Amino acid sequence: MFLADKNETLLKPLLIEEVFFGEILSGGSSMATAGKRLNTAASEESMSFVKALQCRECGKQYPKAPLSVCEYCFGPLEVSYDYEALSNKISREIIQRRSPNMWRYRELLPIDTEASVGKQVGFTPLVKASNLAKRWGLKHLHVKNDSVCFPTLSFKDRVVSVALSKALEFGFDTVGCASTGNLANSVASNAASVGLRSYVFIPANLELGKILGTLVYKTKVIGVDGNYDDVNRLCSEIAGKYHWGFVNINLRPFYAEGSKSFGYEIAEQLDWQVPDCVVVPMAGGSLITKVYKAFNEFKKLGLVDANHSRIYGAQATGCSPITTAVKAGRDFIKPVKPHTIAKSIAIGNPADGYYAIKTITESGGWAEDVSDEEVVEGIRMLAEDEGIFTETAGGVTVAVTQKLIRQGKIKKDDVTVIAITGNGLKTQEAIQDHLVKPQVISAKLSEFENTIFCDQPTL
């Protein structure tokens, strides 16, 4: 074992059954006033081009407020922008003059004033992956590497910086989330950085790195005895009752917009062109829809000439409700019970599953899934060929890319981008039994020379 477990009791999040929940939830008066202090009016010095929240199904419009569901048809709400007004305010030159972070696209993000959380998030490297390209016989392969996103090493810092900036605009003093791990890390870290109180809900059986990387910020971590879908259901109830800013529940329309910055950066880093193919890992299915939205917005604003991108979705076979629907030609999701090592993308009933399917089919892409063995192989290929250590979700994306190339869906000349969304140091359990042990020798040259001609033992 790489990870010592003797401090297990210190490292555990609170299990929900162990908690007197009322005590946590009623702690303090400021929380009770958070709902009352809500500021839903547009700020006077607003720099925002947001027109409204709009129902994706019936089109009904709502004011900018912590809402996520249409009260008429229960469709999800989405942020809509005044693109005409915006087009005079943004250009390639204006964007390029700004600091290298996601806020260089601020007109396309739903914040009324300057971002107050996560000012340095984003603008991660787009790495030319020549060795992997050679392995697979491709000419133009890139890795968009959010495994080094600041501050918590996943793309979730993008969505959280928008959601928490918005939470502060609305006057919340307490925020929360339902998470498969990376979101937990990011909410806890970013909330700590601005003094927001946070409650983070996770399945109790997450990887140690994800749990430690949340607890360290002194957030309140609640481990629920169940899977993500159980956690999410509980959080919806809590959000309804306590009027906190739950980033992926009542702040979800704003939060989700943060993922567009992943797509904007890819297009800018390819010298203002969209790639032919992008392979994106899917959990709730939001990121993939927002990458496509980002490319479409850039085209609408003349920042790229065309959007011909084919968008490919990746899941682990042990939790593949979206890829299964695409392969079956269905436009609806049949929920599943997750069973995979790719815990960060183990969502059996994806909130944006329907829209992920739509994105994939409309763009001319496809969806595939891979076994847990292939996930490990994917992690190793990216590390050995490109020197990038990704987590299980990245292993899924790499292995699915290989599969799509073998199926002839991604072709030799296609400019292809693999979305690497999280860091391997957080999911060490996935590979610890698959690597060779370091060799231990005494500090003697002769002993070193003896070892270099021997094979290293496996674990």
Ligand X SMILES: Cc1ncc(COP(=O)(O)O)c(C=O)c1O
Nearer to ligand X, 229 or 391 (CB): 391
Residue among 48, 154, 190, 317 that touches ligand X (CB under 6 A): 154
422: which residues sit within 8 A by CB, 6+ positions away? 146, 147, 153, 154, 155, 182, 344, 390, 391, 393, 394
Return the range that interacts with ligand X (CB under 6 A); candidates 3-11, 213-221, 282-290, 381-389: 282-290
395 binds ligand X (CB under 6 A): no
- The CB-of-267 to ligand X minimum distance in angstroms stands at 19
Site residues (vs Zn ion, CB under 5 A): 55, 57-58, 60, 70, 72-73, 75
Tell me how crowded residue 26 is: count the other CB atoms within 10 A of its CB: 11
- The CB-of-188 to ligand X minimum distance in angstroms stands at 14
Angle at 363 between CA 110 and CA 331, to 5 degrees: 90
393 binds ligand X (CB under 6 A): yes
Return the range that interacts with ligand X (CB under 6 A); candidates 47-55, 107-115, 278-286, 377-385: 278-286
Nearer to ligand X, 147 or 165 (CB): 147
Residue among 286, 323, 363, 402 that touches ligand X (CB under 6 A): 286
- 217: three-class secondary structure by DSSP: coil
- The CB-of-62 to ligand X minimum distance in angstroms stands at 22
Residue among 323, 344, 349, 416 that touches ligand X (CB under 6 A): 344
364: which residues sit within 8 A by CB, 6+ positions away? 310
Report the distance separating Cα 294 and Cα 13, nearest Å. 36
Report the distance separating Cα 163 and Cα 268, nearest Å. 24
- The CB-of-77 to Zn ion minimum distance in angstroms stands at 8
Report the amino acid identity of residue 424. G
191: which residues sit within 8 A by CB, 6+ positions away? 164, 175, 197, 198, 217, 219
Q: Look at residue 70 and give the partner it binds from Zn ion, ligand X, none, a contact being a CB closer than 5 to 8 Å depending on partner kind.
A: Zn ion
Nearer to Zn ion, 59 or 302 (CB): 59
- The CB-of-72 to Zn ion minimum distance in angstroms stands at 5
Report the distance separating Cα 265 and Cα 294, nearest Å. 9
Nearer to ligand X, 279 or 304 (CB): 279
204 binds ligand X (CB under 6 A): no
Number of residues that bind ligand X (CB under 6 A): 17
- The CB-of-71 to ligand X minimum distance in angstroms stands at 24
Q: Tokens 């297009």 correspond to what residue?
A: 267
Q: Look at residue 157 and give the partner it binds from ligand X, Zn ion, none, a contact being a CB closer than 5 to 8 Å depending on partner kind.
A: none
Report the distance separating Cα 422 and Cα 146, nearest Å. 6
Q: Tokens 């004033």 correspond to what residue?
A: 113
Q: Which region holds residue 42: left if phi is over 0, alpha if psi is between -120 and 50, else beta?
A: beta
Residue 66 · residue 170 · CB < 8 Å: yes
User: Binding string to ligand X for residues 160 to 199, with x set by CB under 6 A, is what?
Assistant: --------------------x-xx----------------
Nearer to ligand X, 265 or 391 (CB): 391
Q: Look at residue 235 and give the partner it binds from Zn ion, ligand X, none, a contact being a CB closer than 5 to 8 Å depending on partner kind.
A: none
Report the distance separating Cα 215 and Cα 265, nearest Å. 31
Binding interface with ligand X (CB under 6 A): 154, 180, 182-183, 281-287, 344-345, 391, 393, 421-422
